[in-house]
Structure 1
Amino acid sequence: MPTITAVHGDITQQQVDAIVNAANNAMRGGGGVDGAIHRGGGRAILRDCIERFPDGLATGDAGWTTAGDLPARWVIHTVGPNYRAGQRDRTLLTSCYRRALEVADELGALTVAFPLISAGIYGWPRQDAIVAAIETITGAATRVVGARIVAFDDATYDQVCEQLSAHR
């Protein structure tokens, strides 16, 4: 079971083996975390996405690319459900975390930084997104030893810390 740490900061600056990207189905970059990762990593990430995912990626699935210019070695892309568009099956959300950890294991990544998948522009209720992340990561059979949940703003960071304390 990985040790989960809450981090207040920018996921693109995390010194870990892999960072997780909350991608869209097209796998060609987008807004929010996806846009920040593509901007920070440079063109190599997009080139790898086009080559590795010519038809995109299904909701709930995950795959990897280079991290380009980012400090991490890999980016693990996962497509969360779009709550605002009616995709409210929680198993799709938990599948994102589970599949990201499976991909991390395939790569040999021991440290992984996660955003709160689907909790941004896709509108998944933040508190449930936090609970889903923590429960899924702690319940996973993985070789990952350290998992970070990276919160960009103070309120989210406080909520993640509170939920981690309650979970212990």
Structure 2
Amino acid sequence: MGCNKAVVEDLLTDLLGVVTVQSSPSESQSKPKSKRVKMAKAKAPVTQMDIEDTLPISKLAKVIQRTHSFATKAEAFKKELVCKTKEAVGFLASLNNAEVKMMILLDQAKATKQAQDQVEEKTQAAEAVAYVLRTKAKESEAKIAKAEAELREALATKASEIKAANKKAYAEGQANVRDAYNEQAKPGL
């Protein structure tokens, strides 16, 4: 019930990090010494085996158990790695979506800023036009006030000229009427 020692040693070396020490060439040529094998039970029959070529079944069972344990752990790690990889892919997809949304929002913010700048420019232009119009309106009001004052003065002057002309015409009319009356009154003299 043994296994080839070289295969088992390779397994032990790979899995457990066990290092086997090889004997010198002179010892390998000598006759193999038989070693005692501990008995599992006191009454179990002991069989002679070539110890150098075989390992006890208990060590082989431990190797197999550890190999199975490592294989089970490796499978669990593989499943966890697959799960984590899928999770990472999902996170990357979410990150890409977030980046796209950020770029869209940045573009919208730029467009909004440009529109706001245009509105501000138009507002400033409208305010400048309104200021110019207010200034012109004040100038026009001043001109209107000056023209009204000149008109009042001209009307007052004309009114006084008309009064003077009316008085003069009235006086001349009276004088003419008097002269005409006096002439009418003289012929009979």
TM-score, normalization: structure 2? 0.14
Asked which structure has the greater RCO (Cα within 8 Å, sep 6+), the reply is 1
TM-score, normalization: structure 1? 0.16
Choose between structure 1 and 2: higher helix proportion: 2
